[in-house]
Structure 1
């Protein structure tokens, strides 16, 4: 990856045209061929960019040979980035280079998300009494003919409970649990089976549908399940 901080102007031509006047910016040239132009604002989104597949050609000029940009100021280096499929071009003219460095980052291991459904399922299985005193875990990923139920448990009275877990509880999740319940309740060894729809956040429409189907909704607190947040000590 090459990182360049420079006073530059940028012109994009193709399906649309765009111009960035002379200003200090961060230019990023990545190993995959992409080129991104960033300012000090605008959060993570670049001001302009070219995605691969593309080619980058660089034209350098000495101070004596420096050409003039549209505004009359001299540039010392020009990047021409051309998309190999669309023909769109990104032209970056560097007037003064403040920093220029290259770094070999290697293969990225990828984003490892915390608090995804698998984590919530494992934590709730380990802390099944979070749903009520005397509850016991029967099995995680309880197999059915239409897919595995996240958790099958028994409440304090020994009744079967099917639990579907989502990070964000939406109508689709309620529909999924409904199908599981219809199938599980055909098993005389389990019936009657009631359902719990558990998520970190549940949309109002999902709550309404769950109530209509006789399904309870439970909001999961990820930090509390991990034991790093004392819910009882909160003010609100």
Structure 2
């Protein structure tokens, strides 16, 4: 019988196979999985992985693309250009299906810097009474400042926003301030370093440079009340 060859880059569907099988890996080292019931996952990127009913997302064994799958009766052989092989011996196939997943929009994280920037721009008085927003993504020759604001006295304030405030963020804001303070229409410009968490070293450096640090409460910016019990 002719081998059925599926080249990794031509795969367009995710294939799910539940089978009783054993697995042998031959390459830089050898590994063996004895006969048991497992999930075999053939993804559209060409990868083939062997999963058990634990270990969360991590497979027991796998072959990353570029590789190709040769299917013989009762045996799958997955091989890459380096000559490494994943040999899957199938005793019984319980399920075999293919599924189109469609385009992947990518992971959208809740609370990333863009969300924090938008929320803080909408609630700029979090930084102080009487504050107003001049512009988000205020342009400079070395990159945009997250927020340009005016405080209650009408003075310019550059705000750099991070999820986690580290020394690199303080250095970034320092460069912005040095440049902005050369503009007579803006000077004097002070700085605020705002983040959900600020490392002690970053806070020390910022305060030494006259930069105010503000810890942001993401839920509070979103208008979500805390779950803790309060007396009043």
Q: Same fold (TM over 0.5)?
A: yes
The two structures have a TM-score, normalised by structure 2, of 0.87
Match of 2:198 among 188, 196, 202: 202
* 1:90 alignment partner, one of 67, 86, 92: 86
1:142 to 138, 143, 151: 138
> Who is 2:47 aligned against?
34
Report matched runs for 1:184-203 at 5 Å: 184-203=180-199
Partner residue, 1:67? none
Given candidates 150, 165, 172, the residue that maps to 1:169 is 165
- Give the structure 2 partner of residue 47 of structure 1: 60
Question: Alpha-carbon deviations, 1:177-201, whole Å to 9, x = none?
Answer: 0101111122222222211111122
Question: Is 1:121 aligned to residue 117 of structure 2?
Answer: yes
1:10-53 superposed Cα distances (whole Å, 9 cap, x missing partner): 11111222222222211101122110111111121111111111
Alignment of 1:13-28 (within 5 A): 13-28=26-41
1:5 aligned to 4, 18, 22, which one? 18
- Give the secondary-structure state (helix, strand or coil) at the position aligned to 1:176: helix
The alpha-carbon distance between structure 1 residues 221 and 82, as it changes in their structure 2 partners (threshold 3 A), is same
In the alignment, the residues of structure 2 paired with residue 235 and residue 198 of structure 1 have an alpha-carbon distance, to the nearest angstrom, of 27
Q: Which of 140, 143, 150 is 1:154 aligned to?
A: 150
Say how many residue pairs are matched: 217
Does residue 224 in structure 1 map to residue 220 in structure 2?
Answer: yes
Q: Could you report, residue by residue, the CA deviation over 1:52-102 in whole angstroms, capped at 9, with x for unpaired residues?
A: 111101111xxxxxxxxxxxxxxxx1110001x212111111222222222
Looking at structure 1, the residues matched to 104 and 48 of structure 2 have their Cα atoms a distance apart, in angstroms, of: 18
User: Alpha carbon RMSD of aligned pairs, Å?
Assistant: 1.7
What CA distance in whole angstroms lies between the structure 2 residues aligned with 1:210 and 1:37? 50
Aligned twin of 1:109: 105
Residue 63 of structure 1 is matched in structure 2 by none
Partners of 1:211 and 1:57 in 2: how far apart?
63
Which ranges of structure 2 fall in alignment gaps of 5 or more residues?
1-13
Q: Identify the match of residue 75 of structure 2 among 73, 78, 86.
A: 78
Q: Distance in 1 between the 2:45 and 2:138 partners?
A: 42
Distance across 2 between alignment mates of 1:11 and 1:212: 60
Work out the CA distance in 2 between the residues paired with 1:95 and 1:184.
70
